[in-house]
Amino acid sequence: MTHPFRAVTPSPQPAPFKSAEETAQAVARLNAIMDRLESLVNDETARVRAGQLRAAIERDEEKAELARTFAAESERVRASAAMVSASLPEALQRLQARHESFRNLLQTNLTVLATAHAVSEGIIRGVSGELARKQSPSTYGANGRTNQPSPKATQPLAVSRSL
Q: Give the model confidence (pLDDT) of 117-148 as tens digits.
A: 999 888 888 887 777 777 766 777 778 787 77
Is 12 part of a structural domain of the chain? no
| Residue 162 within any structural domain of the chain | no
In a domain? residue 59: yes
30 belongs to a structural domain: yes
The verdict on residue 110 lying in a domain is yes
Of 102 and 82, the structure prediction assigns the larger pLDDT to 102
Give me the pLDDT at residue 155, please: 67
For residue 93, tell me if it sits in a domain.
yes
Query: Residue 95 belongs to what domain range?
Result: 20-132
**What is d(CA 51, CA 49) in angstroms, rounded to the nearest whole number?**
5
Number of domains in the chain: 1
pLDDT the model gives residue 21? 86
User: For residue 146, is it within any domain?
Assistant: no
pLDDT-above-70 percentage for the chain: 80
Mind listing the pLDDT tens digit for each residue in 51-99?
Answer: 898 898 898 899 999 999 999 988 888 888 888 888 888 988 898 899 9
What does the CA dihedral 14, 17, 21, 24 come to, rounded to 10 degrees? 60
154 has pLDDT over 70: no
Is 38 a member of any domain? yes
| Confidence (pLDDT) at 4 | 54
- Going by C-beta distance under 8 Å and a sequence separation of 6 or more, which residues neighbour residue 38? 102, 105
Q: Is the pTM of this model over 0.95?
A: no
Neighbours of 132 (CB within 10 A): 17
Q: How many CA atoms lie within 13 A of 148 on its CB side?
A: 4
